[in-house]
Amino acid sequence: MNYPAIALASSSPRRRELLAQLGVNYKLVKADIDETVLPAEAAAVYVQRLALAKAHAGLARLQHDLPVLGADTVVVVDGLILGKPADFEQFRQTMLLLSGRSHQVMTAIALVSAKHQLTQLVSTDVTFRVLTEAEIRAYWATGEPQDKAGGYGIQGLAGRFVQRINGSYSAVVGLPLCETEQLLQQWQELS
C-alpha cells in the first residue's frame, strides 16, 4: 500500500526499523520533550501524553506539511511505570520486580498535523521466567539495558527471559505495526 510521506519524531533505531517494514517513506525530526511523570498520572495516560507531545514537538520543528508520527513505550508492573535504569542498582531492582511474573508494556502512537490528530494505545502482557542474580549482572554488563524502558529489550539479549507474550510483539519493541498501519489508513481517509 502507498502511504503518504510522514515525519517520525523518534530517536529510536528500533522504531525506524519497524516503520521501514511497512514501506513508509519518512524523514526524522527531533522532538525533545519533558518526560516527567505527572503526580498520580496513570501509565496509559502518561504514555499517550508523551506520544502526542513528541508528535506535536516534531510538527513544530517541521518546515514541510507532513504528518508527524510520535510514539512512546513504557513498562508497567503493579501500576508502577518502570523507566530507563539510572544505574545498576535501579536496574537490578527492576529485574527482580519483573522476575517470574507478568507485566504490561504499553506503547502509544500519535499521528498529527495542523488539522488532524489520531492516537492509539496498545498494551501487551509479557511474562518473564525467574531470573538469577548472575543473569541480571551479566545482562547489565552487556550495556543493552541502559537505554531501554523497563531495563530490557525483547528483541535483544533479554528475549531469552521472556516465557510468554500476550499481545503485539512489535509494540513491545516500540512500534505496533498493525495499529500503525491502521492509523496510516485512517489518515489517508481523512485527506
pLDDT digits (tens, 9 = 90+) for 6-49: 999 998 889 999 999 999 999 999 898 999 999 999 999 999 99
Contact (CB, 8 A) for 150 and 174: no
Nearest by Cα to 153 from 168, 167, 174, 177? 174
Global pTM reads: 0.94
Catalytic residue positions? 72
CATH class of 6-190: alpha beta
**Per-residue pLDDT at 86:** 93
